[in-house]
Structure 1
Amino acid sequence: MSETVISIQEVSFQYPDQTAFALQNVSLHVQRGEWLAIVGHNGSGKSTLAKMLNGLHYPQKGQVMISGFMLSEENVWSIREKLGMVFQNPDNQFVGTTVQDDVAFGLENNGVEQTMMKERVLAALQKVGMTAFLNQEPHHLSGGQKQRVAIASVIALRPDIILLDEATSMLDPLGRDEVMETIRELKEKEGLTVISITHDLEEAAKADRVIVLNEGSIYTEGTPQAIFQMDQELLQLGLGVPFSVRMSQLLADEGLLLTQRHFNQEELVRDIWTLNFAK
């Protein structure tokens, strides 16, 4: 039986200077080992929800449970040990003069013994493929490399849950692919629970389940396959449908009978190639 690691029950939150609720009666559950993508346009409430999961906001109504802890000022540091957050701009997370110093920073703050710290820094950088850059200055890295170091800094703390808050939005396509592949491998090998807060449906396509937020409430949820069938509704909500999904539909409209609607470009190209080769 699957274990619930995050439970959000009827949560509402309103900023003091706004008349509308940023979140209104939001309820959701996240299972251990799941990859959940939370998507929505700017102002849909997803950033507020991300800050709440990290204890930067507290619900004005309802409750949030994370890894057995009720979200409160008393429990917030215990929750942050269980949930690590990777932010939008990796430059904002760097504090060390070298890659290894940066990954060690959180461990030093937690009082981890020196020998153990070195082992955990090296292990974390190995997991994201960045051991060749131990003594590199972070500002010399590419965007994708910087974000992989930021992920290493989080996983060195050994959280149960990783929260990606628009973590690929400032990266080029290559950097985005590097980060998403790193997260996928970590999820599979380490059994991590992943929550991806994003407006990018190509990123959401890699998740097990997608929740769509709109005006502070849950509009719908389902598998990526089910969500992407709602392409016209998604466009009306201000969300761009992934290129491979749009292209699959256009090809189908022109009479090319693909085996399915594809959610990444590699599968689409493979299907087109197979169809042409079969002829």
Structure 2
Amino acid sequence: MKETIINVENITFHYDQEADPALDQVSIEIHKGEWLAIVGHNGSGKSTLARIINGLYLPNQGSVRVCGIELSSESIWDIRKHVGMVFQNPDNQFVGATVRDDVAFGLENNGIDRDEMIRRIEWATKKVKMEEFLEHEPHHLSGGQKQRVAIAGVIAVQPDVIILDEATSMLDPVGRAEVIQTVRELNKQGILTVISITHDLEEASKADRMIVMNAGKKFAEGTPDEVFQLDQQLVDIGLDLPFPFLLSRKLKEAGVSLQNHHLTEEGLVNELWTLLSKV
């Protein structure tokens, strides 16, 4: 049986009490060790939901429990020990003159002693393959490297959950791949439960499970395969279907006997190769 690490129950949140709610009676469960993608167009409520889980906002109604702790104004700092967050713009996240100083920042705030701090900095930077850059100035790094340093700063504090809030949206394809691969390895090693907030359905297709947000409500939930069966309904709410999925559909419509609508280029290429080998 899957262990629930985060439980969000019937939360409503208003930025402006006279406007429609940013979140309207939203309930979700997040399981320990999973990779959950929360997707939606701008204004769908996905980033607001992430900020509530991290304790940056408190819901107007409903409840949130993280690792058994109920979110309240008194428990915010306890919640944040369990949930780390990496934001969209890597240049806005750095506070240290070097990579070492930046990764140390969260540890110093948590009162970690010096010997343990040194051990964690070395461990975290090695996990994200940035151990050779400890004395580098962050602003000289590439976008992907900056986000990997931001991830190192989060995991050094040893939270249970990491939230990627559009953390790859400002990166080039190489940097995006670096960050996703880094977090995937940490997830597979059992170090982190991952919540990815994104509008990129191709990125979301690699998650264990997806939640689609629309107009502050939960629109759909399921595995990527299940969610992408909604097809045109996702397009109608402003989302772009992954290219491999669209190409799979076009090939099937053209008479190619594919068994699946593929979510990844690798899966599509492998099935096409199998078909060609039979010709």
With structure 2 as the length reference, what TM-score do the two structures score?
0.97
Q: Give the deviation of 1:133 after TM superposition.
A: 1.1
- Measured after TM superposition, the shift of residue 191 of structure 1 is 4.0
Provide the residue aligned with 2:49 in structure 1: 49
Which string of whole-angstrom CA distances, capped at 9 and with x for unpartnered residues, describes residues 98-139 of structure 1?
Answer: 111111111011111111111100100111111121111111
1:218 aligns with 2:218: yes
Report the residue type matching 2:56 in the other structure: L
Could you tell me which residue of structure 2 aligns to residue 3 of structure 1? 3
Bigger shift: residues 15-24 or 76-85: 15-24
Deviations 1:185-230 (A, max 9, x none): 0001134211111111111111111011111011111100011111
The letter of the residue matching 1:171 is L
The CA deviation at 1:18 is 4.9
Q: CA RMSD in A?
A: 1.1
Tell me how far apart the structure 2 counterparts of residues 111 and 128 of structure 1 sit (CA, whole Å): 23
Give the letter aligned to residue 246 of structure 1: L
1:32 aligns to what? 32
Say whether 1:208 aligns with 2:212.
no
Q: Could you say which residue in structure 2 is the equivalent of 1:66? A: 66
* Pairs within 5 Å for 1:62-141: 62-141=62-141
Structure 1 residue ranges (4+ consecutive) displaced by more than 2 angstroms after TM superposition? none
1:41-78 residue CA offsets vs partner (Å, 9 max, x unmatched): 11111111111111111111111111111111110000
- What is the deviation of 1:29? 0.6
Q: Residues of 1 paired with 2:35 and 2:67: CA distance?
A: 16
CA distance in 1, matches of 2:141, 2:190: 26
SS in 1 for 2:259: coil
Q: 1:30 is matched by which residue type in structure 2?
A: I
Question: How far did residue 277 of structure 1 move?
Answer: 2.7
SS in 2 for 1:190: coil
Cα distance in 2, alignment partners of residues 104 and 192 from structure 1: 19
**Greater mean alpha carbon deviation, residues 250-259 or residues 60-69:** 250-259
Deviations 1:7-35 (A, max 9, x none): 11110011126511100000111111111
Same amino acid, percent of matched pairs:
57
Three-state SS of the structure 2 residue aligned to 1:258 is: coil
Aligned twin of 1:227: 227
Where structure 2 has 5 or more consecutive residues not aligned to the other structure, the ranges are: none
The residue type paired with residue 102 of structure 1 is D
* Secondary structure of the corresponding residue to residue 48 of structure 1: helix
Aligned equivalents of 1:111, 1:191: Cα separation in 2: 22
Q: In the alignment, which residue of structure 2 is the partner of 1:276?
A: 276
Amino acid at match of 1:231: D
Aligned equivalents of 2:179, 2:204: Cα separation in 1: 13
- Alpha-carbon separation, structure 1, partners of 2:210 and 2:166: 15
Question: Letter of the aligned partner of 1:133 in structure 2?
Answer: F
User: How far apart are the structure 2 equivalents of 1:259 and 1:242?
Assistant: 17
What is the match of residue 244 of structure 1? Answer: 244
**1:111–1:171 distance in 2 versus 1, CA, 3 Å:** same
- Following the alignment from structure 2 to structure 1, what is the Cα–Cα distance between the partners of residues 252 and 175? 31
Q: Secondary structure of the residue that 2:206 maps to in structure 1?
A: coil
Structure 1 stretches of 5 or more lacking a match?
none
In structure 1, what residue type is equivalent to 2:83?
L
Equivalent-residue separation in structure 2 for 1:255 and 1:102 (angstroms): 55
